[in-house]
Chains A and B, each alone.
Chain A
Amino acid sequence: MSSVTTLPVKKIQNLVTLPWRARPTVGATPVQVIHTENKWRLLRYAARPQGPAYQTPILMVPSLINRHYVLDLMPGKSFVEFLLARGHDVFIIDWGTPGPEDRYLSFERVVATYMGRAIRKCAAFSAAGKVHLMGYCLGATFTSIYAALDDSRLASMVALAPPVAFDDPGMLSQWMRIPTLDLDAIIDAKGNMPWQWMQAAFHMLRPTLTLTKMIGVLDKAEDDTFLEGFRAIETWGNDNVSFPGNCFRDYIQKLYQNNDFAEGRLTLMGRPARLEQITCPLLSVTFKHDNIVPQESSLPLVAKASSADKAQWDLPGGHVGAVIGRKAAKELWPGLSQWWAERD
């Protein structure tokens, strides 16, 4: 029972001791560092004792501005752990923390050079020389652009909540097109786009969310499992990363403001990145209550790709909860594992 007027002892004890609880263990699955370059690292998760069951490795590309361990949140609640137990060979890019010098880092360098190198290094571990590429949020934008440039090393691509078109009615897209917003002045003054500013913008999408979370904690404070999961997600949610300046400028001007990628005008390394050039097996997953990436932003990926094997899943849930929550462990994770197994 969860009534404020008859609080059980366990609930009161948990609420009072909450600030002094040990920090949650996040991103705990053992990794091996395969490659480092500037601030980013290619990590390979330790395989299960009996070794991988599948020969095609999975390379996960998280958002540049959030920590990679959202996909390996905590023991028992980790998508990576789940996949390893199923026999997959899992790699991930840890983008690291940009320094002041990374204000000059271009979008091209991050997507084509850094991510391209991660793909090639990961593919070297595969007998067929190919990888299953998976991007999440901004990571999915990167992987979609890369696949549109060259999908020869991709056994498949999975895009979780991929922002591809930016003429959607979402608030973020609208804000980035405000005429009085001087992006050049912001980047010239700040260098990298500060994570605090981006976090504030995400908060403004639903300012009442913090209060909603507090009510949720009060409601379920007697549940230790809930509290640990909540604190782990909050640890990740507040561990944000600044966006390298030039990369941010390119991303906003070319993708958000001009919508170059969705409309077929984007070029990287002098080559066109056209959605129609994607021919590898493709799966795009969107979430019905995602207030960060509206479904309209993601739909052009599957609609325009030339892949013979392509699908669009639209699942219930929000941007983060639908990927790492309890329901994901029962539906999304097994679904993706099966999808990859069928395309090994």
Chain B
Amino acid sequence: MSPWELFKQGFFKWEDATARLSETLLRSPLVVAPLAGALSSSVKFTRWRRETKTALWTRLGLPTRHDQVRTLHQLNEVLSRLNDLEEALAAQQQAQPSAAPAENAE
């Protein structure tokens, strides 16, 4: 067996053992619970900082980023609703193809 093949054999054995150890650790509540808690605490701080800045802008009577993204989302919702109505109209027109000939007969 070549030195490279020997190395690969050793590497894959190490890799498998390390992956199993890593999985054991990352499944343990003693490890993941504090990590998740730390992550949650850090984002709570980010949220508090953003809300404080937003409140200040609002008190100054200025539109905030929250106002902007919310408005843009509502615009997207309106466009989706328009798509819904266009589909409904097209379906209705397809279901009533005899409307035009009846008008011509009169």
Contacts and interface: CB of A to CB of B under 8 A. Distances in A.
A318 B80 CA distance: 37
Interface string A183-217: 00110111100000000000010111001100100
A17 B100 CA distance: 69
A174 interface: yes
Contacts of A189: 43-44, 46-47, 50
Contact of B83 (A37, A178, A185): A37
A181 B73 contact: no
A180 interface: yes
B58 interface: no
Contact of B43 (A109, A113, A114, A182): A182
A2 interface: yes
Interface residues of A, number: 41
A180 B35 CA distance: 9
A178 B32 contact: yes
A334 B77 CA distance: 40
Interface residues of B, number: 40
A256 B2 CA distance: 47
B40 A182 contact: yes
Nearest to A214: B11
User: Which of A38, A189, A191, A206 lies at the interface centre, i.e. has the most chain B CB atoms within 10 A of its CB?
Assistant: A189
A181 B4 CA distance: 44
Contacts of A180: 33-34, 36-37, 40
A313 interface: no
Given A104-B73, A174-B27, A120 B15 contact: no
Given A178-B36, A180-B33, A215-B8, A5 B15 contact: no
Contacts, number: 105
Contact of A207 (B8, B19, B47): B19
Interface in B1-60: 2-5, 7-8, 11-12, 15, 18-19, 22-23, 26-27, 29, 32-34, 36-37, 39-40, 43-44, 46-47, 50
B53 to A, nearest CB: 13
B2 A5 contact: yes
Contacts of B70: 101, 104
Given A100-B69, A211-B15, A188 B47 contact: yes
A189 B22 CA distance: 29
Contacts of B15: 208, 211-212
Contacts of A4: 3-4, 7
A182 to B, nearest CB: 4
A316 interface: no
A174 B36 CA distance: 12
B4 A185 contact: no
B89 interface: no
A214 B106 CA distance: 79
What 6 pairs between A and B have smallest CB-CB spacing?
A182-B40, A180-B37, A101-B72, A189-B43, A189-B47, A181-B36
22 contacts: A3-B2, A38-B80, A100-B72, A109-B80, A114-B80, A174-B27, A178-B32, A179-B33, A180-B36, A180-B40, A181-B39, A181-B40, A185-B40, A185-B43, A188-B47, A189-B43, A189-B44, A189-B47, A190-B46, A204-B26, A211-B15, A219-B8
Given A37-B83, A114-B80, A211-B15, 13 more contacts: A3-B3, A37-B80, A101-B72, A174-B27, A174-B32, A175-B32, A178-B29, A178-B33, A180-B34, A189-B47, A204-B26, A206-B23, A207-B18
